[in-house]
């Protein structure tokens, strides 16, 4: 058995992007309900998040953008930047708490309190750019987590595996010229799916060339396609990189029942992808692994897949 942390706080339910919005508080409620119903919650170490200091958020996001987001919330605006980025007065503080949730997970792993962790946070982060909110995201939780690992703890190589069905444009852009972060994304083909980035030829630039690997998969792809892509192409490159810390942008929206995309993964595929990435962390990174929730809009799929993933992290699957 491993010690697995769960980052969660009821405050995350307070981000209300609009009644119509698929990225709704019920997503986390479904996850927490399942962990309680199965007794899994008692096996996990609850990690309380803190609000990330703005000085850390400024390491990737434009100070003026941060200010504009804060002001929009204070003024009671209901959207920020683009129509799909719905906000409420609490959204700014909660977005800082989502970033700080990843930081708290890093702290707990680096101090040895837990071996790995899952961050049940919202709003999600991987579409958030330097000075733009996009695709339900405001601050890039996982990218800031990587910077925190590198700069606060002095590690030199962090791998980010992004299996959300959408390409993590923000994460890629932050690190495309940075050889300290290897960004691997498996996502639905940009021609048929938001946000339209993540083509094969985007493979980093300057000193970061070769440290970005995009594997777009056509709509309708299933378990075998994803597992083959990860096992035969993604993992060999990650092993060559030899990360000291592994992060997963864990979206569960490539599932066949997800309402927002067109892929056909089953619960089994997520289980197997999780096992492969965990093995990478065990072999190269002393088991240091943090999964950060991104998308996933079917409540049943979320509960199923997160339950499986946590059992895997604990080693009791």
Q: Which of 15, 126, 127, 255 is catalytic?
A: 127
Q: Which residue's entry shows tokens 């961050």?
A: 119
In the complex, the smallest distance separating the C-beta of residue 131 from Zn ion, rounded to whole angstroms, is 21
CA 230 to chain centre: 17
What is the DSSP secondary-structure string of 18-87? -TT-SS-THHHHHHHHHHHHTTGGGGSEEE---PPPHHHHTTTS-HHHHHHHHHHHHTT-SEESEEEEE-
Distances (CA, A) of 111 to 8, 24, 85, 104: 19, 33, 35, 11
Residues 143 and 147: their CA atoms lie apart, in Å, by 6
From CA 103, how far away is CA 147, in angstroms rounded?
A: 10
Q: CB of 211: closest distance to Zn ion in angstroms?
A: 22
Nearer to Zn ion, 164 or 202 (CB): 164
Q: Is 166 designated active site? A: no
Give the footprint of Zn ion on this chain (CB under 5 A).
164, 166, 251, 253, 295
Cβ nearer to Zn ion, comparing 234 with 251: 251
- Closer to Zn ion by CB, 3 or 166: give it: 166
Burial of 210 (0-12, 13-18, 19+ CB in 10 A): middle
**DSSP helix/strand/coil, 244:** coil
Torsion of CA 29, 148, 144, 303, to 10 degrees: -20
Rounded to a whole number of angstroms, the minimum distance from the CB of residue 295 to Zn ion is 3
The three-class DSSP label of residue 134 is strand
The Cα–Cα gap between 49 and 43 comes to 19
Burial class of residue 183 in the structure, from the number of CB atoms within 10 Å of its CB (0-12 exposed, 13-18 middle, 19+ buried) = buried
Nearer to Zn ion, 5 or 124 (CB): 124
Residue 208 Cβ vs Zn ion, minimum distance, rounded to whole Å: 24
Beta carbon of residue 306, minimum distance to Zn ion (angstroms, whole number): 15
Which lies closer to Zn ion via its Cβ, residue 60 or residue 134? 134
Residue nearest to Zn ion (CB): 295
Q: Which residues are catalytic?
A: 127
């Amino acid at each position: 058995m491993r010690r697995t942390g769960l980052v969660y706080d009821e405050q995350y339910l307070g981000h209300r992007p609009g009644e119509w919005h698929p990225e709704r508080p019920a997503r986390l409620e479904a996850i927490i309900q399942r962990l309680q119903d199965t007794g899994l919650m008692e096996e996990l170490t609850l990690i309380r998040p803190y609000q990330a200091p703005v000085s850390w958020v400024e390491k990737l996001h434009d100070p003026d953008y941060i200010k504009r987001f804060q002001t929009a919330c204070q003024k009671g605006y209901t959207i920020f930047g683009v129509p799909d980025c719905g906000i409420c007065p609490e959204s700014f503080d909660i977005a800082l708490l989502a970033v700080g949730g990843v930081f708290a997970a890093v702290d707990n792993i680096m101090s040895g309190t837990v071996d790995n962790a899952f961050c049940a946070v919202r709003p999600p982060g991987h579409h958030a750019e330097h000075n733009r909110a996009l695709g339900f995201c405001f601050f890039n939780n996982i990218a800031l987590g990587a910077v925190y690992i590198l700069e606060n703890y002095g590690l030199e190589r962090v791998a980010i595996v992004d299996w959300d069905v959408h390409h993590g444009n923000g994460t890629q852009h932050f690190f495309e010229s940075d050889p300290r972060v290897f960004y691997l994304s498996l996502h639905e083909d940009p021609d048929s799916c938001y946000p339209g980035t993540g083509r094969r030829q985007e493979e980093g630039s300057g000193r970061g060339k070769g440290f970005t690997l995009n594997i777009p998969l056509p709509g309708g792809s299933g378990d075998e396609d994803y597992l083959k892509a990860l096992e035969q192409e993604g993992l060999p490159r990650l092993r060559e990189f030899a990360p000291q810390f592994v992060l997963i942008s864990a979206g569960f929206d490539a599932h066949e029942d997800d309402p927002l995309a067109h892929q056909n993964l089953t619960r089994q595929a997520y289980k197997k992808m999780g096992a492969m990435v965990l093995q990478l962390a065990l072999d190269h990174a002393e088991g240091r692994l943090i999964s950060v929730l991104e998308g996933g809009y079917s409540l049943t799929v979320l509960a199923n897949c997160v339950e499986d993933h946590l059992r895997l992290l604990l080693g009791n699957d």
